[in-house]
Amino acid sequence: MPLKIAIVGRPNVGKSTLFNRLAGKKLAIVDDQPGVTRDRRYATGRIGDIDLELIDTAGFEDLADLSLEARMRLQTEKAIEEADVAFFVVDSREGVTPLDRIFAQILRMKDTPVLLIANKAEGKAGMSGAAEAYQLGFGEPLHLSAEHGEGIGELYDEVEKFR
């Protein structure tokens, strides 16, 4: 059985970049509700020897009746409920934003274990933002660069605990 991972967080933090880095075969989009369909992408993937089923959230390509925040909330909640582990991605360069806190609040309401990831942490620019991420209440963030592939070994060590 693959470990189901929901990759959640506000737009532009690097969720899809991480999804693409870990993804192997893209799966059919699972359709549940019209208008929200394209908000979650699925793929099988691997980290080391661990099989994953990945859920990428946030597309917002199509205009639905719901407000952006309502849709974000809905798709995030659904992805978390489906998953064994949630990767909560924040941007270590920008630090914690009000929207990050909204996501933290959504995650706290669910039982799914959360792994906090401070992405864009290559080089030194990410250090202060990553320290700020600790305030979100999910422990020390894992420093990662999805784009450059740094921190994947550390990510493996954390994911392994949920296997």
Binding site for Mg ion (CB under 5 A): 15-16
Residue 17 makes contact with ligand GDP by CB under 6 A: yes
Query: Would you say 17 or 75 has its CB closer to ligand GDP?
Result: 17
Q: Which does 76 bind (CB under 5 to 8 A by kind): Mg ion, ligand GDP, none?
A: none
Residue 119 makes contact with ligand GDP by CB under 6 A: yes
Minimum gap (Å) between residue 97 Cβ and Mg ion: 16
Q: Which two tokens stand for residue 41?
A: 């992408």
Residue 120 makes contact with ligand GDP by CB under 6 A: yes
Structure-derived torsion over alpha carbons of residues 147, 151, 152, 157, reported in degrees to the nearest 10: -160
Q: Which does 17 bind (CB under 5 to 8 A by kind): ligand GDP, Mg ion, none?
A: ligand GDP
43: annotated binding-site residue? no
Q: Which two tokens stand for residue 65?
A: 């009746």
Residue 149 makes contact with ligand GDP by CB under 6 A: no
Residue 11 makes contact with ligand GDP by CB under 6 A: yes
Are 141 and 134 spatial neighbours (Cβ–Cβ below 8 Å)? yes
122: annotated binding-site residue? yes
121: annotated binding-site residue? yes
Are 26 and 42 spatial neighbours (Cβ–Cβ below 8 Å)? yes
Nearest to 103 by CA among 73, 81, 123, 129: 73
58: annotated binding-site residue? yes
Q: What pairs with residue 87 in β-bridges? A: 7, 115
**Interstrand relation of 40-47 and 23-26 (parallel, antiparallel or unpaired):** antiparallel
Tokens 């996501």 belong to 103
Task: Give the residue numbers of the binding site.
Answer: 9-16, 56-60, 119-122
Task: Give the residue numbers of the binding site for GTP.
Answer: 9-16, 56-60, 119-122
